Amino acid sequence: MQEQLEKMFFLSAEFVEAVDARGMTEREKNVFFDTELFCKRYVKEVRPGEIGCTLSHQKCYRKLVESRDKYALILEDDIVIRHNIDTLVPEIEKLLNTDEPRVILLSGWYWYLGTKTIKQHYCLARVYDAFLTHAYIINREAASLLIEQRPFITADDWFYIRKKGVKLYAVLPHLLDQDWSGEYPTSINQEEKKRCPGLWKRKIEICFHSLLLKFLYIIKRFEKA
């Protein structure tokens, strides 16, 4: 992580200790996270890694709101920088200098509706939905909007975040990747998924949403990670 941060010498860095929910009791989980609403939204039981990830990002949002900073670049510890991000900093700062709640993804794995050029061959994509949370910039207005006392979503539920009022964009092509070498293992994908019974209406909604994402993929409105 330190090696990657050295490539972003133009930014000051603060390390935030992640929340580890694996040692939480069921009571503690329900105090800090709404497991019932999670089940209704995703039709599956929440895993400890998902709780920890969401609470860690909530922690970052609170730190931003409590600071005097206008925006923050949130990075997870398994990032790999693909391009010279410093060349785009002035353009990105302009986009974030607004009272409108905005998030700009620097990662891939998103579906988008349209683009506009911001510099040379880089575009700003208007995101419809996305996965992953390892690299994004968020302004104070968006952080304030996303703080919840008992969150119930995964940290990368960008569709929900967009529906909540955050304007969601992404740099195309994306600038940062995750390190899949295994040096920075994550427990989330290793944890067993348990489905919630019933909730057929929500299951149908999820199917329709998946079909729309497939359509955007077919018409080449998808940026892979």
CA 29 to chain centre: 21
Domains along the sequence of the chain with CATH:
19-178+191-223 (3.90.550)
Give the C-alpha separation, 74 to 13, whole Å: 10
Taking only the tens of pLDDT, the chain with its 225 residues reads: 555 555 554 566 788 899 999 999 999 999 999 999 999 999 999 999 999 999 999 999 999 999 999 999 999 987 887 767 888 888 999 999 999 999 999 999 999 999 999 998 999 999 999 999 999 999 999 999 999 999 999 999 999 999 999 999 999 999 999 986 655 445 555 566 788 888 899 999 999 999 999 999 999 999 998
Give the C-alpha separation, 139 to 156, whole Å: 17
Is 64 within 8 Å of 72 (Cβ atoms)?
A: yes
pTM confidence score: 0.90
The DSSP output letter for 27 is H
Give the C-alpha separation, 47 to 44, whole Å: 9
Listing DSSP states for 99-141 in one string gives: SS-EEEE-SS-EEEEEEEEEETTEEEEEEEEE---SEEEEEHH
